[in-house]
Amino acid sequence: MLKLDLPASAAPGAQRSPAVRRLLLLAAGTGALVLCAAMSLALGTRPIPLPTVLDALLGDGHGGDADVVTGLRVPRTLIGLVVGGALGVAGAVAQGVTRNPLASPVTLGINAGAGFAVVTAIFTLGLDRPIEYLWFAFAGAAAAAVAAFAMSRRGGDLDPVRLALSGTVLTVVLTSWTSALMLASHRTLDEARFWLAGSIGGRNLEVLTPVLPFVALGLLASFAISPALNTLALGDETAQSLGVPVSRIRLTGTVAVVLLAGCAVAVAGPVAFIGLAAPHLVRPLLGGDHRWLVPGCLIAGPVLLLAADVLGRVAARPSEIEVGIVTAFLGAPLLAVLARKVAR
């Protein structure tokens, strides 16, 4: 019998092995997400045994521990899942649209724009509930995104370096204006300072109801353009020559980032670095293909957010540290390392 020595790439199943490996990694990430969710339900200022948590979830638990699980920690965990997923995917799409590895809702000024708009609404309209912040967060996020993209244009093309600088300038300016508004009014300071720190605690599921359709729309748009983002990475001219509508893809991606980041900021405040860190955590594992990167960030974002939230609760017992402070503390060195790496 004649035996042919086929190259590895032509061997049966060889083309499927990378996909299988990625699927296994996504499954492992899903397991890590389940573990983080369980930790979020069980750990806090007062640890609760997992059997008690399970009984509370099934409706069989009674007493104070069951009330803490169902009344406080379940909403907190679900909010963390939604906010973390939104920020993770927003970061992946922002980096793909701008071709800038430092792009995220924070570095593009989107979080700062949403925060400034919400604080302005608190100062002028007297808002006092996170559920009222949604439209102002959207407006601020959209205005900041438009301003950053407008300032980064060079000869009609998007300059990734100028975009990062524009986002940084916007963040500094808007943060300064936000601080000025808070200092001008004690009521605004009292209402906004906890929200601006970034937290998923102290909120009920009511805050998720108005944002879920917008989060779903942002995720749908992100998944829809993920194949085109791979081509966009080759440059605008190359992508256009391959038939990719660059302007439409970039507009769709920007709208998706604004929707996702605006919803996340409206619910939890401007939580930093989740959108920046998630793609850089996923990319070495799943590669740069956005068809895998986007779902990977949908898992990695909540993992990072819930892990940071649990750390903030455990590290400061019997008090707690807001998750936005924890992510900022851990994310600042990451930004410095990435900036140094990109500069080389």
- Show the domains of the chain with their CATH numbers: 70-343 (1.10.3470.10)
Q: What is the pLDDT of residues 34-54, one digit of tens each?
A: 999 999 999 988 888 888 888
CB 131 within 8 A of CB 191: no
Beta strand spans in 66-213 (E): 153-154, 157-158
CB 308 within 8 A of CB 326: yes
pLDDT of 12 strictly over 60 = no
The more confident residue out of 150 and 216 is 216
Q: What is the pLDDT of residues 144-181, one digit of tens each?
A: 888 888 887 665 566 667 777 888 889 899 999 998 98
What pLDDT does 307 receive?
A: 94
Residue 186 CA to chain centroid, in angstroms? Answer: 30
Q: What is the pTM of this model?
A: 0.87
Q: Is 44 exposed, middle or buried (0-12, 13-18, 19+ CB in 10 A)?
A: buried
Max Cα separation, the chain? 88
Per-residue burial over 72-91, b = 16 or more CB atoms within 10 Å of its CB, e = otherwise: bbbbbbbbbbbbbbbbbbbb
